[in-house]
Amino acid sequence: MEGKPVKIVVYHCKNLRLFKDGEQKVFNRKWPGLSLVSIPCSGKVEAHHLLKTLAGGAQGVLILACAESACQYLEGSARSRKRVDYAGQWLQKVGISPERLDFVRVPPMDRVALENLLREFTSKIQSLEVIPAIAKA
């Protein structure tokens, strides 16, 4: 990864099977600043999770979902898309670029696609102004 590392959180549906046991930690080491969070379904992520993640210091949040037709919870992937859009509207209201959130449907087990996505997303986030961190009391 080029440039200064930025804190990015990736919520990924566990049904994408991107990592086998223990692989996630190894992958994380390659990407400083990156936090990978495995979730039961992308539909589990709601707007308040995304805003809280950003308010907690992340500079960008990426949601990786299954194809709509492949969603094991039938409508999780579709609902997730709407929630990310809704969270984006909130970001716009508070004057923060909605580009800090991205929702991508990726093929299962495709680590190459994931790395390409991360490179692209990271460089986009690096080009944005940093959200100041909450000052410690």
Partner 1 sequence: MIVATLKEIDEIRKMIDRYDSVLVVGCDSCVAECAAGGSRETMLLTAALKLSYLKDHKNPTITEAVLDRQCVDDFIDQIADQAPEHDAILSLGCGAGVQALARVYRDKPIIPALNTLFIGETVSRGVWQENCLGCGNCKLGYFGAVCPVTRCSKKLMNGPCGGSKGGRCEVNPEIACGWDMIIRRLDALGELDRLTEYVPPCDWSTSHSGGPRKVIREDQQP
The CA–CA distances, whole Å, from 110 to 24, 46, 68, 136 equal 14, 25, 17, 40
The answer to whether residue 26 forms part of the interface with partner 1 (CB under 8 A) is no
State the nearest-atom distance from the C-beta of 134 to partner 1, in Å: 6
The answer to whether residue 74 forms part of the interface with partner 1 (CB under 8 A) is no
Choosing from 47, 71, 101, 114, the residue that interacts with partner 1 (CB under 8 A) is: 47
The answer to whether residue 96 forms part of the interface with partner 1 (CB under 8 A) is yes
Please report, in angstroms and rounded to a whole number, the separation of the first and last CA atoms in the chain.
33
Binding segment for partner 1 (CB under 8 A), chosen from 19-27, 46-54, 59-67, 111-119, is 46-54
CA–CA separation, 69 vs 5, rounded Å?
35
Map residue 11 onto helix, strand or coil.
strand
State the nearest-atom distance from the C-beta of 25 to partner 1, in Å: 28
